[in-house]
Amino acid sequence: MKTRSETFQLENEMQWEHPAPGIARQIMGYDGQLMIVKVKFDKGAVGTLHEHFHSQATYVASGKFELTIGDRKRILEAGDGYYVAPDELHGCVCLEPGILIDTFSPHREDFLKK
């Protein structure tokens, strides 16, 4: 498996993956320690509650989302962000179509398996 992305990622040259209904993602830059992923949500799409051993920091590029992290819920909009500690349960519901920019450390090996 490749453990490093190409130097440049051009949106119009990259394919979108569709991991769940109403959700599409593009894997941007990564190496063994870091990964950035653009995730596009349709209104009503659900990022189901899940957990993973990676640290995650996310920037809300557009849209509106109801986030659940552990036992806390918040509504986040464009310009907001959030942090998820390793092994913490989290998920979201898209209230207005939008894009999240996820970063993970280390990289999400499961996203690279085809």
- Is residue 76 in some structural domain? yes
CA–CA gap between residue 36 and residue 5 (Å, rounded): 10
> Do 49 and 90 meet the contact criterion of CB atoms below 8 Å apart?
yes
Strands 55-69 and 81-84: antiparallel
Query: Given the structure tokens 């993602």, which residue do they identify?
Result: 25
> Do 56 and 47 meet the contact criterion of CB atoms below 8 Å apart?
no
Closest CA to 74 of 90, 55, 97: 90
**Each residue's pLDDT tens digit, 20-37:** 999 999 999 999 999 999
> Do 104 and 54 meet the contact criterion of CB atoms below 8 Å apart?
yes
> Do 42 and 22 meet the contact criterion of CB atoms below 8 Å apart?
yes
CA–CA gap between residue 97 and residue 5 (Å, rounded): 28
Count of domains in the chain?
Answer: 1
- Is residue 11 in some structural domain? no
**Each residue's pLDDT tens digit, 97-113:** 999 999 999 999 999 88
* Res 19: pLDDT: 95
- Global pTM reads 0.94
- Is residue 75 in some structural domain? yes
- Is residue 39 in some structural domain? yes
The domain of 51 spans 28-102
